[in-house]
Amino acid sequence: MLSRLFAPTVKVSAHCDLPCGVYDPAQARIEAESVRAVQEKMAANDDPHFQARATVIKEQRAELAKHHVSVLWSDYFKPPHFEKHPELHQLVNETLKALSAAKASTDPKTGEKALELIERIDVIFKETKKA
């Protein structure tokens, strides 16, 4: 009797841990854009104090971008997405590695590469949102 009294009266389900709308590759893109911008500023400034501060900011932003990509991969994308886009696992892996490379580099080309890969994830993401 108690189990019926405390049983849920409404069942809800979602393909992600919250109803859709909370995930977006834009978060990763914004952080990756910051990485590239810092790399560009580092190339134009030889001050060692600026370089030290910029390095910390660049590494933090790269980690945040990696976090957002990882959350998309683990929490948003589901088996049907991977079935329709079999390249998605490899793409996410390449993106995370590109962000690690950008984190370790002052070359804006590494930041640009990460942004290009995030854009490819975004194209797939937007397609899944239409479905």
* DSSP conformation letters of 111-124: HHHHHHHHHHHHHH
Confidence of residue 20 (pLDDT cuts 50, 70, 90): low
The whole model's pTM is what?
Answer: 0.84
Mean pLDDT value of segment 43-58: 98
What is residue 131's predicted lDDT score, i.e. its pLDDT?
75
Instruction: Please say whether the beta carbons of 124 and 80 come within 8 A.
Output: no
What is residue 22's predicted lDDT score, i.e. its pLDDT?
77
Cα–Cα distance measured from residue 70 to residue 45, given in angstroms and rounded to the nearest whole number: 32
Mean pLDDT value of segment 11-32: 74
Cα–Cα distance measured from residue 77 to residue 31, given in angstroms and rounded to the nearest whole number: 20
What is residue 4's predicted lDDT score, i.e. its pLDDT?
63
Cα–Cα distance measured from residue 34 to residue 103, given in angstroms and rounded to the nearest whole number: 11
| Helix, strand, or coil (residue 77) | coil
What is residue 104's predicted lDDT score, i.e. its pLDDT?
98
What is residue 7's predicted lDDT score, i.e. its pLDDT?
64
Helix axes 108-130, 48-71, angle to 10 degrees: 20
